[in-house]
Structure 1
Amino acid sequence: MAHEIDGIKFEQRHGKARVRVGRVWKSENGRHSFTEWNVSISLLSDCLPAYFQGDNSNIVATDTMKNTVYAKAKECSEQLSMEDFAIGLGKHFTSFYKQVATAIIKIVEKPWERIYIDGQPHKHGFKLGSEKHTAEVIVKKSGDLMVTSGIEGLALLKTTKSGFEGFIRDEYTVLPETRERMLATEVTGFWRYSYESLPGLPAKPLYFSDRYLDVKKVLVDTFFGPPKEGVYSPSVQRTLYEMAEAVLGRFPDISSIQLKMPNIHFLPVNLSNKDNVIIKFDDDVFLPTDEPHGTIEASLSRMRSKI
């Protein structure tokens, strides 16, 4: 929170970071559900005396914040999305403590996935996946809120249907133009929901979890195109835009989306021997390299939205 003291602008917040919690839900038929969250809490509160006078009477101890995470996880008798868990934490801190004006809750979900044995889902077995589901929720004492979900580490690669032509050429340009190359990236994305107050939230407990899976599917499907013929990518920029546009077009409850898509290079290998005879490979042997790599990012927002 910002305050002006003797002509000096002073801003402060405090919280607890990297609170790790695992939660198991057990149904009557013996089927277990499991999630692991890494929770970070930041409170904007009126506790100036702690800074100016050494008076801690208005401070919510960060150890209390940690314990609250575990207590609230225990109270969740039914499986819920981590966005809803974050909203619940934010509601608690802003309503229980009169001096807390705003709670910012960030959660990263570890990608545990149910395992399948002989094609059948295991009732209590899980394996670690790859990309991570993220969330940031801002809850204000007034009931206003902002919900942003995201994905990290979504690695995608296609071995054809990609090119790069017509770019600026100058004395430092050696990159050849091509209509045939591999395209690989690791997507980081964030999307903001249109819900702006606690009363307007969907009542479905796993609404945000389902929407996360929906958004991921749209991103992946748009990147690759139809399974047989695929879709041509003239640049990472164009593919990024098409992916973001597809998400906004599909989900009216999402007001904005930001994508970061580094261009991870697979360089065609060509060899020369001592007689300088070139052994040219036919786009089938590559040198994988991620340093250096291109960086491409952009955001799309509906006109009434800010990201």
Structure 2
Amino acid sequence: MANIDLDGFKLDQRHGKARIRVTRVWRNNHGGNDFMVEWNVSISLLSDCLNAYVSDDNSNIVATDTMKNTVYAMAKECSKRLSAENFAILLAKHFTSYYKQVNAAIIKIIEKPWERVNIDGQLHTHGFKLGPEKHTTEVIVKKSGALQLTSGIEGMSVLKTTKSGFEGFIRDKYTALPETQERILATEVTASWKYSYESVSSIPQIPLYFTERYLDVKKVLANAFFGPPREGVYSASVQSTLFHMAKAVLNSFPEISSVQLKMPNIHFLPVNISSKDNAIVKFNDDVYVPTDEPHGTIEATLSRTWSKM
């Protein structure tokens, strides 16, 4: 936020417009495919508008309605397909260059996961359905052109029915959880990764580069979680799996400086029906009770040692 000293007080302020929903369709009138995106855009501006707070003078305020209209107008101006990251950068560059009082712009975008429908093995030219995960991005651009760029995934639900255990943890008088080498491992991954690009001018000038990189990172995360299709990979804990997933991303993409993963341990509890005297039904790791809460919470950030992020 913009920090302002005022008669012994400090004012932290920013203003913006949140949840601006916009859909952009690129139509192909020559018998090809239509393309579309649905974005939920939030804007925060750090600007010199002290007088609006202390003197009832709004002359330096960029109206939030103007911000909303700018999103729609700039989406219209994008005649070629572009990634959420590139659209966020375009918006941020506009606000920091067009308005002299705006020192920095923070743009957040959540992309709804529309994907092309497959009908009898053939991709539909103009039909779409909602997919599972959401693509996210946050861009911070300063008037100087300095850049901080983060992308991410929300709602990546993954599960494996075997090759997972949990042993050797601290046991005390309150511990009831049995140790096991056989359990279901399930989580809903929230991931974010920071790029090492430090200025707007340094980002790759490749169409849809960040969209492709998002798909690549999602694939690497999934591969590290599941392992090879036939044999899989053993998970000694959610913590261990999280580390190997984050490490795989950094090893695969040198332009990414750090990865944050949040991976709740969503429990599938083995059923055990028994009476006071004996078991009524004996289960053998084949029937479970799925639970939403409570669940374990595991999160960590893995960074390169040289990273400034």
TM-score, normalised on structure 1? 0.98
Further displaced range: 284-293 or 22-31: 22-31
1:11 aligns with 2:12: yes
Match for 1:117: what amino acid? I
1:79 aligns with 2:81: yes
CA contact 1:188–1:261 (8 Å) conserved in 2: yes
Gaps of 5+ in 2: none
Matching of residues 254-265 of structure 1 within 5 Å: 254-265=256-267
2:181 maps to 179
| Cα displacement string for residues 145-195 of structure 1 (whole angstroms, at most 9, x for unaligned residues) | 111000000000000000000000111111111000000000000000010
Match for 1:23: what amino acid? R
2:268 maps to 266
Find the partner of 1:91 among 85, 90, 93. Answer: 93
Residue 130 of structure 1 and its aligned partner are, at CA, apart by: 1.2
CA contact 1:84–1:205 (8 Å) conserved in 2: no
Match for 2:8: what amino acid? G
Find the partner of 2:151 among 142, 149, 152. Answer: 149
Further displaced range: 273-282 or 132-141: 273-282
Residue 275 of structure 1 and its aligned partner are, at CA, apart by: 5.7
1:253 aligns with 2:285: no
Residue 274 of structure 1 and its aligned partner are, at CA, apart by: 7.3
1:102 aligns with 2:104: yes
Match for 2:157: what amino acid? A
Q: What's the Cα RMSD here?
A: 1.0
Match for 1:140: what amino acid? K
- The CA distance in 2 between the partners of 1:84 and 1:76, in whole Å, is 10
1:296 maps to 298
| Cα displacement string for residues 102-150 of structure 1 (whole angstroms, at most 9, x for unaligned residues) | 0000000000000011100100000011110000000000000111000
Residue 278 of structure 1 and its aligned partner are, at CA, apart by: 3.7
CA contact 1:256–1:306 (8 Å) conserved in 2: no
Residue 226 of structure 1 and its aligned partner are, at CA, apart by: 0.3
Residue 199 of structure 1 and its aligned partner are, at CA, apart by: 1.1
Gaps of 5+ in 1: none
Match for 2:20: what amino acid? V
Residue 256 of structure 1 and its aligned partner are, at CA, apart by: 0.5
Residue 276 of structure 1 and its aligned partner are, at CA, apart by: 3.7
Residue 273 of structure 1 and its aligned partner are, at CA, apart by: 4.6
SS in 1 for 2:267: strand
Residue 205 of structure 1 and its aligned partner are, at CA, apart by: 2.0
TM-score, normalised on structure 2? 0.98
- The CA distance in 2 between the partners of 1:20 and 1:113, in whole Å, is 18
1:26 maps to 27
- The CA distance in 2 between the partners of 1:88 and 1:199, in whole Å, is 12
- The CA distance in 1 between the partners of 2:44 and 2:227, in whole Å, is 41
2:160 maps to 158
- Aligned identity (percent) is 72
SS in 1 for 2:266: strand
Match for 1:193: what amino acid? Y
- The CA distance in 2 between the partners of 1:146 and 1:48, in whole Å, is 26
CA contact 1:19–1:40 (8 Å) conserved in 2: yes
Runs of 4+ in 1 over 6 A off after TM superposition: none
Match for 2:5: what amino acid? E
Residue 306 of structure 1 and its aligned partner are, at CA, apart by: 4.0
Find the partner of 2:193 among 187, 191, 194. Answer: 191
Match for 1:25: what amino acid? W
